[in-house]
């Protein structure tokens, strides 16, 4: 099977109760490659999402936790045992309808979910990633935040604090519009709070991109054999001027619009090909290469800063990628660039053929509507 070392972190098993379309499921995994095969709509992607839950306390696809509970049921439970640095870690996530989510590590409830983020790093590559190119800047900020929060335990708290100060400032601007009087002293306090948390986030995002862009460039060149020139640029108003001046200059505009128009909540990650926007000028193939390079760079970044390999979740990629890109990804698998991998595909024979070709053994699971078993 090739000399696969035991990863420093891997998921040994997964238990589900009333999660999405599953009544129950109980699975044991291989430390290398695990493939979920079955018809479209059977629930393969839901298994990847359950793993994502254990790692990052949330769904990859849907931010509303209560919508993950199986229709007609009152609660869901997702549980798994990880091996991390040769220690066993039991992680469980449960939610009862209309109650707070319960998240436990070794049977102990977390005070803050942010304390869990980054212990079990994970990267998902999914057809839904096209939203990163096609949707608004919020998606791309979320991408940055997702990666940075897995390597910096204080980042999420700083983000929550910034958003709280932003809401307070916007509420004041609305009040000013209603009463036509401005409490200058209060505005100064709110500005100061926003500036402090905004600057901290800006510095971290800027540093992240300095580390990240070379990794992205390397992966894109590898995937496309240097086919075309692409670029990834971090745009922030704070690059141009300090935050204090920005707020002072935009106060009239802010009063008219009743919201804060400058700050890190306006940051953007610009994707370009040959100097033009990737969204308009990139072919489907170029966009796919760009997205996979982004996610592989995320993997490399997490590996570099965590000192161990994240889990890699590959959703339906054989169906959506051409042979060349699949071959490139499999080259990386055969070179042991990744740790534990979870993959979904509708075509069992295709999965077997792809991994046979690189002489990597896989653990196969067959998924039928709401049921899953070792193949």
Which pLDDT tens digit goes with each residue over 151-194?
A: 998 999 999 999 999 999 999 999 988 998 888 899 999 999 99
pLDDT in tens, 224-243: 887 788 999 999 999 999 99
pLDDT above 70: percentage of residues in the chain? 99
d(CA 346, CA 367): 9
Name the 3-class secondary structure at 16.
Answer: strand
Name the 3-class secondary structure at 326.
Answer: helix
Residue 144 lies in a domain: no
Q: Do the beta carbons of residue 215 and residue 300 sit within 8 Å?
A: yes
Name the 3-class secondary structure at 295.
Answer: helix
- Say whether pLDDT at 87 is over 70: yes
Whole-angstrom CA distances from 284 to 5, 130, 135, 179, 321 are 36, 10, 15, 52, 10
Strands 311-315 and 122-125: parallel
Q: Do the beta carbons of residue 47 and residue 372 sit within 8 Å?
A: yes
Residue 1, pLDDT score = 41
Q: The domain that contains 3 carries what CATH number?
A: 3.40.50.300
Domain count of the fold of the chain: 1
pLDDT in tens, 246-281: 999 999 999 999 999 999 999 999 999 999 999 999
d(CA 374, CA 364): 6
Residue 74 lies in a domain: yes
pLDDT in tens, 333-348: 888 889 999 999 999 9
- The strand ranges marked E within the chain are 9-19, 22-28, 33-37, 75-84, 87-96, 102-105, 108-109, 122-125, 230-235, 268-273, 276-277, 311-315, 341-345, 362-368, 371-374
Degrees, nearest 5: CA angle 268-274-275:
45
End-to-end CA distance of the chain: 19
Residue 362 lies in a domain: yes
By the 10 Å C-beta count (0-12 exposed, 13-18 middle, 19+ buried), 49 is classed as: buried
If you write DSSP's letter for every residue of 85-102 in order, what string do you get? TTEEEEEEEEEETTS--E
Rounded to whole angstroms, the maximal C-alpha distance in the chain is 73
Name the 3-class secondary structure at 181.
Answer: coil
Residue 320, pLDDT score = 76
Whole-angstrom CA distances from 247 to 17, 161, 188, 318 are 49, 18, 10, 48
Residue 165 lies in a domain: no
Average pLDDT over residues 198-214: 97
d(CA 355, CA 365): 15
Residue 4, pLDDT score = 57
Residue 77 lies in a domain: yes
Q: Quick count: other Cβ atoms within 10 Å of Cβ 228? A: 12
d(CA 23, CA 262): 47
- Say whether pLDDT at 5 is over 70: no
Name the 3-class secondary structure at 249.
Answer: helix
Q: Please, which pLDDT band fits residue 12 given cuts at 50, 70 and 90?
A: very high
Mean predicted lDDT score pLDDT of the chain: 92
Query: How far does CA 82 lie from the centroid of its chain?
Result: 19
Residue 236 lies in a domain: no
Residue 30 lies in a domain: yes
Residue 262, pLDDT score = 97
Count of alpha carbons within 13 angstroms of residue 335, beta-carbon side = 7
CA proximity to 332, closest of 285, 364, 300: 300
Q: Quick count: other Cβ atoms within 10 Å of Cβ 347? A: 13
Average pLDDT over residues 342-367: 92
Residue 2, pLDDT score = 46
Residue 333, pLDDT score = 86
Degrees, nearest 5: CA angle 251-255-257:
115
Domain holding 5, by residue range, is: 1-121+309-375
d(CA 91, CA 110): 11
d(CA 176, CA 258): 8
By the 10 Å C-beta count (0-12 exposed, 13-18 middle, 19+ buried), 5 is classed as: exposed
Average pLDDT over residues 120-128: 93
Residue 251 lies in a domain: no
């Amino acid at each position: 099977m090739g000399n696969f070392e035991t990863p420093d972190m891997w998921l040994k098993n997964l238990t589900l109760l009333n999660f999405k379309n599953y009544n129950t499921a109980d699975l044991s995994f291989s430390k290398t490659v695990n493939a979920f095969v079955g018809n479209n709509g059977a629930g393969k992607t839901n298994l990847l999402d359950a793993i994502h839950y254990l790692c990052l306390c949330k769904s990859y696809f849907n931010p509303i936790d209560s919508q993950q509970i199986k229709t007609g049921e009152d609660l869901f439970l997702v549980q798994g045992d990880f091996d991390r640095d040769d220690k066993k870690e039991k992680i469980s996530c449960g939610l009862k309808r209309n109650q707070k989510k319960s998240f436990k590590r070794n049977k102990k409830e977390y005070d803050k979910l942010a304390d869990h983020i980054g212990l079990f790093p994970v990267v998902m590559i999914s057809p839904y990633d096209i939203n990163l190119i096609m949707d608004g800047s919020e998606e791309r900020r979320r991408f940055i935040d997702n990666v940075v929060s897995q390597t910096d335990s204080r980042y999420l708290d700083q983000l929550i604090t910034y958003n709280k100060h932003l809401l307070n400032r916007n509420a004041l601007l609305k009040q000013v519009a209603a009463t036509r009087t401005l409490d200058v002293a209060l505005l100064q306090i709110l500005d100061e709070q926003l500036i402090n948390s905004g600057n901290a986030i800006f510095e971290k995002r800027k540093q992240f991109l300095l580390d990240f862009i070379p990794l992205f460039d390397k992966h894109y060149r590898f995937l496309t054999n240097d086919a075309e020139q692409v670029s990834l640029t971090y745009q922030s108003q704070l690059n141009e001027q300090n935050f204090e001046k920005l707020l002072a200059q935009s106060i009239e505009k802010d009063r008219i619009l009743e919201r804060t128009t400058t700050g890190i909540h306006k940051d953007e990650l610009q994707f370009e090909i040959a100097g033009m926007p990737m969204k308009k000028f990139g072919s489907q193939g170029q966009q796919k290469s760009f997205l996979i390079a982004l996610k592989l760079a995320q993997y490399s970044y997490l590996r570099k800063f965590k000192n161990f390999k994240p889990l890699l979740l590959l959703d339906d990629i054989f169906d959506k990628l051409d042979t060349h890109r699949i071959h490139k990804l499999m080259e990386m698998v055969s070179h042991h660039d990744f740790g534990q991998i979870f993959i979904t595909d509708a075509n069992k024979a295709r999965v077997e053929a792809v991994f046979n070709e690189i002489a990597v053994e896989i653990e196969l699971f067959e998924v039928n509507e709401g049921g899953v078993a070792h193949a």
